[in-house]
Structure 1
Amino acid sequence: MKDILIVDGYNMIGDWGELKQLKDKHQLIDARDRLIELLAEYQAYSQYKIIVVFDAYQVPGVATKEKQHDVEIIYTRVKETADECIEALTMDKIQKYGRLTRITVATSDMAEQSVIFGNGALRMPASELFTAVRESQRQITQTVNKDYARQRKFSNRVQLDAETQSKLENMRRGLK
């Protein structure tokens, strides 16, 4: 089983500059979507199984789960905070997988960090996850650029010495 990273979604949105700007412009849905995109890329790079929890404490309705870009997304039920959901989810995953799977919770909420750490999970502040996501983007870009350069270097052209090139060019032009 992959290591699991449980992310307090609105905590990241409130902490990461780009996402905070979207939220402040009343584009909370766009901020959520962008967070999920960033975490999907990070999941592919890091090999974490990522679960994002969004607080629906003041929104009527039932809890829902969905997947976007292979990231599991949980919206809490009415009158349930993201912290409560994360605590229950952490305990469930620890009981299910034991110590064979590392469970990490990304949140900057100090009280929440204490509770999940006491339950046996690792903690990661929002700033640390932001740094890890940005580093993974840098590594992905570097790998893509390196692969592109390698493909250009080893194109389908055959490398020939100058004399052979000259002979072939003369043959092409019908010269002796």
Structure 2
Amino acid sequence: MAAPALPAPLGAPYRIGFVCLGNICRSPMADVVTTSLVADAGLADRVEVRSSGTGGWHVGQPMDERAAARLTASGYDASRHRAQQHDATWAGLDLVLAMDAANLAEIGGESDRVRLFRSFDPEADADPAPDVPDPYYGGDAGFADVLAMVERTCAVLVDGLARLDLR
């Protein structure tokens, strides 16, 4: 599957947001991985990455310990994340990616700048469920699966960013 084109920049920096339910597992994992890949690509001064949750239960809290441990074991810095709730200020982002269909519906549905995260996943066609599964109520294997999904999808996103004219 070819990844969809990224929307043209609205301004500088290019701003990407990831959204899940509580902003303690899936979207912060995507935030941390993308931030790392953006820095590795030399785009840190031209791309801003953030994440939020549709619910406010965890606002101000660090990410789930299991998500942070999985990221740390894979060489990422998960220490700076603090949960935020999705709000109207996100309307001005260049691209917002929802982790599942319920999150997408809660933020107003798909548009040219709002999509499902897995629309960029090179393995999404092989999976009948286009959602990033929520690992919160499961075990460590769920966090490992989500990180693998996030890493391959974020690599495609950052590759697309590197091809945009970001000044």
State the TM-score, normalizing by the size of structure 1: 0.37
Which entry has the higher C-alpha Rg, 1 or 2? 1
